[in-house]
Amino acid sequence: MEDLKKKAAEEAGKQIKDGMIVGIGTGSTVKHLIEYLAQTKPRIVAIPTSKDTEEKLKQAGIKIGNINELIPDIAIDGADEVDPQKNLTKGGGGALTREKVIDYLAKKFIVIVDEDKIVQQLGEKHPLPVEVLPFAYERVRKELEEKFERVVKRDFVTDNGNYILDCHGKIKEPEKLELMLNNIPGEVENGLFTRNVSEVIVGTKEGIKRL
Ligand code: 5RP
3-state secondary structure of 117: helix
Q: Which of 54, 81, 99, 178 is catalytic?
A: 99
The CATH number assigned to the domain holding 139 equals 3.30.70.260
My answer on whether 133 and 73 are in the same domain is no
My answer on whether 50 and 101 are in the same domain is yes
My answer on whether 198 and 186 are in the same domain is no
8-state DSSP, 170: -
Q: Which domain holds residue 61?
A: 2-119+194-210
My answer on whether 39 and 143 are in the same domain is no
C-alpha 113 – ligand 1 centre gap (Å): 9
My answer on whether 64 and 103 are in the same domain is yes
pLDDT digits (tens, 9 = 90+) for 152-199: 999 999 999 999 999 999 999 999 999 999 999 999 999 999 999 999
My answer on whether 185 and 136 are in the same domain is yes
- Point out the ligand 1 atom lying closest to the alpha carbon of residue 92: 6
Domain count, the chain: 2
Rounded to an integer, what distance in angstroms lies between the CA atom of residue 196 and that of residue 211? 13
- Point out the ligand 1 atom lying closest to the alpha carbon of residue 31: 10
My answer on whether 153 and 202 are in the same domain is no
pLDDT digits (tens, 9 = 90+) for 85-133: 999 999 999 999 999 999 999 999 999 999 999 999 999 999 999 999 9
My answer on whether 114 and 168 are in the same domain is no
pLDDT digits (tens, 9 = 90+) for 23-82: 999 999 999 999 999 999 999 999 999 999 999 999 999 999 999 999 999 999 999 999
My answer on whether 42 and 137 are in the same domain is no
My answer on whether 79 and 148 are in the same domain is no
- At residue 1, the pLDDT reads 84
C-alpha 75 – ligand 1 centre gap (Å): 14
**Known active-site residue 143:** no
My answer on whether 206 and 103 are in the same domain is yes
My answer on whether 97 and 14 are in the same domain is yes
The CATH number assigned to the domain holding 11 equals 3.40.50.1360
C-beta separation of 165 from 130 below 8 A: yes
Half-sphere exposure of 178 (CA within 13 A, CB side): 16
The letter for the amino acid at 97 is T
Q: What pTM, to 2 d.p., does this model score?
A: 0.96
Atom 2 of ligand 1, nearest CA residue: 91
